[in-house]
Amino acid sequence: MHDAPDLPPRPGSHAGWGRDHEYKRHGTLSLLAGIELLIGKVHVCIENRHRSREFIGFLKTLDAAYPTDTAIKLILDNHSAHASKETKKWLATQPENRFTFVFTSKHGSWLNLMESFFSKMARTMLRCISWKRCTRPARRGRG
């Protein structure tokens, strides 16, 4: 596969960085995130994969971040990890009404504020960045 270098911005041609449409992927990372609407605090977890195990780890992070009597409500897409047997089993061990899931409809990601945040981040911060390995963004994202 062609791995041409990115082209810097050039007036009259392209305002942003140009990238060959046949770029080489060096792997992907999974970004799990949630936002506290009242104060805008974002909880982030960057993982190499997005399985039930990683999702439950993110739920544990949220659980530890809030008092035990606080209800945590999540708007989620229909990813299999969000409704897996493992996730349901872990949720059954939690106090009643601790976690409430609301699932967006298919093609309804625009209803989820975090999806809009991811889109904005991809269009502004990540668009012009290229890594040779997928481990760099994880370290950078945790800093």
Instruction: Count the domains in the chain.
Output: 1
24, part of any domain: no
109, part of any domain: yes
pLDDT of residue 9: 72
8, part of any domain: no
Q: Which range of residues forms the domain containing residue 64?
A: 30-141
Which of the listed ranges 33-37, 65-69, 126-130 does the model predict with the highest average pLDDT?
Answer: 65-69
C-alpha 58/C-alpha 64 separation (Å) is: 10
13, part of any domain: no
Q: Looking at the DSSP assignment, which residues form a beta bridge with residue 31?
A: 46
pLDDT of residue 140: 45
- SS3 percent helix, strand, coil of the chain, rounded to 5, is 35, 20, 45
The label of the residue with tokens 């530890």 reads: 64
116, part of any domain: yes
- For the ranges 32-36, 56-60, 69-73, 81-85, the lowest mean pLDDT is seen at 32-36
C-alpha 33/C-alpha 123 separation (Å) is: 17
25, part of any domain: no
**CA angle 68-53-93, nearest 5°?**
35
C-alpha 97/C-alpha 69 separation (Å) is: 9
43, part of any domain: yes
**Mean pLDDT calculated for residue range 40-45:** 85
Comparing C-alpha atoms, which of 81, 21, 33, 23 is closest to residue 61? 33
101, part of any domain: yes
The domain spanning residue 108 has which CATH number?
Answer: 3.30.420.10
